[in-house]
Amino acid sequence: MSFKTDMIRILGCLARDRRGNVLIISALVMPAFIGMAALVTEYGGALVEQAENQRVADLSAYAGALAYNATKSTDQMTAAAVNVAALNGVRSADVQAALVASPRTAGISAVSVSIRTHKNLLLARVLDRREELLIYAGSVAEVGAQAQTPGCVLALDGAQTGITLSGGTAIMAPSCTVSSNNTVTVPCGTSISAIGVNYNSAAAPTQPCSGITGPNGTAAVIAKKSTADPLAGNAAVTSAVARFTSVAALTATTAPAAPTNTTGTNIDFAWDQTATKNAAVAAGCTASWSQPTWTFSCGTKTVVNLGNVTIGGGINLNFAVNGAATTTYNFAGDFTSAATTTFGPGIYNFAKTLTTAGTTTFGAGTYNVGKLVTAGGTTTFGAGTFNFSKGLATGGGATTVFGAGTFKIGMSDSVCNYGAARVSVCNTSALTFRGPSVFELAGGLNNTGGATLTFGSGTSNSYKIGPGSNGDAITLAGGATMIMADATAVGSVFQVVGNVNAGGGGSCFVVPAAAQHDIEGNFMASGAVVLGAGVYTVDGFFTLGSSGGGSATCNGSTVSVSANNVTLVLSGKTKSSSGSCTGYVFCVAAGYSNISLTAPQTGATAKLAVIGPTSSSNTGGATFAEGGSNAKISGAFYFPYGPIIMNGGSSVMGSADASRCLQLIGSRITLSGGTAATSECIAASGATATSKVSLVQ
């Protein structure tokens, strides 16, 4: 057989033999099988891990947003996100959290959380040289405080200069937004820190030194948009302003009429016993002597008519100490007490002037007096009804105390303490009216330098105070103290026709709590002021420190201005003409630091601290000037048509209580000369910031 034949036979045999085919095919398809296994096992497991990471990222972002809403701290935000991830088996090193702008809603901050883990590859390395697979998951949760809300600092007028800072000033609004319907000017050396800044000028805010930042140094959210007045049409504001109509219509009370008795027996309680006894008998009474005291008695007589009554030096008098409360004693002339004089109960009519000195004691009763002068010593009246037609004056270091009662006092016919004005009550020493009592002072009052005056006690007092001859209803001089007890009972009122002029430095003025404080005039103070709770409807302007002064000791502690649960409503019918307060409706000036004004949290004027003029025709504004520092105001400070100006190192901030906050709203807002304003949140608005947290990505 030839070689050729042998080779053909061998090749034919090989062609017919199939025993090695499986091996070859297996070698060819094995990589595909390994790739499919890697896809099913390793990459499928990675998808499961990615889904788990996404779930954890969502939880972490949500937790971080909640923490930031509560604390406004990026550190607390990050800690919350990382801790939630760790509880779900993700290492802290694999978690990153950051405060960013929301990808869904312009002007909203959000918490972004990303989780990056790695999965080792075994089978897949046959097809790819990578040794591990990166698994990424991310989530974004909005924190809820929207920059497009009116915010807590708002300049309304698009034709004015908006919000302007200069000279090292700052606005800090870490929990809300700053909005201007015109420009926002933040030159070098000044700053705004807020969740968002809204503007509505053609150009973006001016900040050459990047003075606008978000909370904790984060990037600012700046948006161009118009911002509406959040309190326009507010029912509480409308109702509060409507009260000016009734306040403007208030009139002073009518002075009581003087007694009309003109005749009676003259009697001189003197050392001449015979003359005194005879005069007493002529009056239908008796007089007995026990040196150095006369005792005058009228038994059951119902009416006793006396003319001029005098008491000799060094002589004491007991006048009807055992008489009946129903007996009427008429004095046609002047009466001047001396030494020790004691009166029993009864109805006393002094047609002219009753002057007390020494130690004088009156029992309970009714007292109708032309004019009362306590010239020295101690004078004490029991409870009763008191009608003084020509005023009450204290002097000579006298201490005068009245029991609880009803007091109607007309204007004096002489000026108070050598001053220029005539008033109903002129106090130069120490005067106390116990209470609860009702006060109607037709001609106002003057509490002179260093004097102490206390009106009433308890809560059911009532006040109607008219103007003195100079237009001031209430006047406090330097170093004076005046405390007025509360008027919160049903039927109690606090009505003042005329100016409140607590203009004395170092003075202490405690205004009673009342549902409504109606003041037809201006309110001016230069000493310590404690404003009792309630609404103050001031038909004029309100100034603190326009003529100097400031903090003083009041009610046992150092006070500048303390006003809790108070709303001030100012008409701006008149504007201040004094010093740095000139032209303003509301002014805090030199010497006033640590002012505390907190709006009510409930009721008709909840969260409204100060309401300025609400008519476009009245552009009177507010100023914090000349070092009026550390003012803490909680509530809306609202001057829709007037500017809010701060200068001279003044500062104003919200309350430390997180449930209360300051909201500044003016036609424009200007800060200069090292001033600062801190505003934590929106106080009163139809579009308040929300604490809602929502996942958006």
In contact, 696 and 142? CB cutoff 8 Å: yes
Question: C-alpha angle 42/44/46, rounded to 5°?
Answer: 70
Count other C-beta atoms under 10 Å from residue 187's C-beta: 16
Q: Is residue 645 classed as helix, strand or coil in its secondary structure?
A: strand
Tokens standing for 670? 């200007």
Concatenating the DSSP letter of every residue in 449-491 gives TT-EEEE--SSB-EEEE---TTSEEEEE-TT-EEEE--B-STT
Residue 106 pLDDT grade (very low, low, confident, very high; cuts 50, 70, 90): low
Range of lowest pLDDT (45-59, 270-284, 310-324, 339-353)? 45-59
Residue 21, pLDDT > 60, answer no
- pLDDT for 579 equals 85
At residue 568, the pLDDT reads 98
Encode pLDDT of 531-551 as tens digits. 999 999 999 999 987 666 667
Give the three-class secondary structure for 64. Answer: helix
**Which of these, 61, 47, 50, 262, lies nearest to 143 by C-alpha position?**
61
Task: With a cut of 60, say whether residue 683 has pLDDT above it.
Answer: no
Contact (Cβ atoms closer than 8 angstroms) between residue 369 and residue 388: yes
CB 103 within 8 A of CB 77: no
Where does residue 247 fall: left (phi above 0), alpha (psi -120 to 50 degrees), or beta otherwise?
Answer: alpha
Q: What band does 567 get if pLDDT is binned at 50, 70 and 90?
A: very high
Between 219-233, 299-313, 585-599, 647-661, the lowest mean confidence (pLDDT) is in: 647-661
Given this model, what pLDDT does residue 195 score? 85
* Rounded Cα distance, 200 and 520, in Å: 39
The rounded distance, in Å, linking the Cα atoms of 361 and 371 is 17
β-strand 662-666 against 516-520: which pairing, if any?
A: unpaired
Average the pLDDT over 266-287 and give the result: 95
More confident residue, 245 or 596: 245
pLDDT at 351 over 60: yes
CA–CA separation, 53 and 256 (whole Å): 86
Query: What pLDDT, on a 0 to 100 scale, did the predictor assign at position 687?
Result: 40
Distance CA 196, CA 584 (A): 30
User: Taking each helix axis from N to C terminus, what angle separates 74-87 and 44-71, rounded to the nearest 10 degrees?
Assistant: 140
Q: What is the pTM (predicted TM-score) of this model?
A: 0.78
pLDDT score recorded for residue 652: 65
pLDDT of residue 313: 87
Question: How far apart, in whole angstroms, are the C-alpha atoms of residue 192 and residue 183?
Answer: 14
**All structural domains of the chain with their residue ranges:** 3-145, 153-232+689-695, 257-381, 410-639
Report pLDDT digits (tens) over 170-221: 888 877 889 999 999 999 999 999 888 999 999 999 999 999 998 888 887 8
Is the model more confident about 193 or about 405?
405
Percent of the chain residues topping a pLDDT of 70: 83
Interior/surface letters 328-360, b for 16+ CB within 10 angstroms, e for the rest: bbbbbbbbbbbbbbbbbbbbbbbbbbbbbbbbb
Q: How far is CA 391 from the centre of its chain?
A: 36
Give the contacts of 80 (CB within 8 A, at least 6 positions apart).
Answer: 60, 63, 64, 66, 67
The residues with which 318 forms a beta bridge, in sequence order, are: 295, 342
**Average pLDDT over the chain, rounded to an integer:** 86
Bridge partners of residue 165, in order along the sequence: 671
Question: Which is nearest to 384 in space by CA: 348, 353, 414, 337?
Answer: 348
Tokens of 163: 């919000």
Q: Is the pLDDT of residue 147 over 50?
A: no
As a whole number of angstroms, the distance between CA 460 and CA 434 comes to: 12
**Would you state the pLDDT for residue 6?**
57
Cβ–Cβ under 8 Å, residues 290 and 308: no
CA atoms in the 13 A half-sphere facing the CB of 66: 9
Burial 236-270 (b: 16+ CB within 10 A, else e): bbeebbebbeebeebebbebbebbebeebbebebe
CA 63 – CA 41 distance, rounded (Å): 33
Over its C-alpha atoms, the chain yields an Rg (Å, rounded) of 42
Confidence tier at 476 by pLDDT (50, 70, 90): very high
Of 508 and 504, the structure prediction assigns the larger pLDDT to 508
- Which pLDDT belongs to residue 1? 47
d(Cα 114, Cα 91) in Å, to the nearest integer?
12
| Distance, CA of 510 to CA of 559 (rounded, Å) | 11
Pairing of strands 631-639, 651-653: parallel
- Reported as a single tens digit per residue, the pLDDT across 444-470 is 999 999 999 999 999 999 999 999 999
Model confidence pLDDT, tens digit, residues 298-345: 999 999 999 999 898 899 999 999 999 999 999 999 998 878 999 999
The top-scoring range by mean pLDDT among 9-18, 70-79, 671-680 is 70-79
The encoded tokens of residue 329 equal 């004693």
CA distance 130 to 120: 9
With beta carbons less than 8 A apart as the criterion, state whether 506 and 477 touch. no
Q: How far apart are CA 20 and CA 22, in angstroms?
A: 6
The DSSP-derived string for 570-590 is E--SS---SGGGTT-SEEE-T
- The structure tokens listed for 33 are 């099988």
User: Which has more confidence, 657 or 283?
Assistant: 283
Read off the pLDDT of residues 621-646 as tens digits, 9 standing for 90 and up: 999 876 556 678 888 999 999 999 98
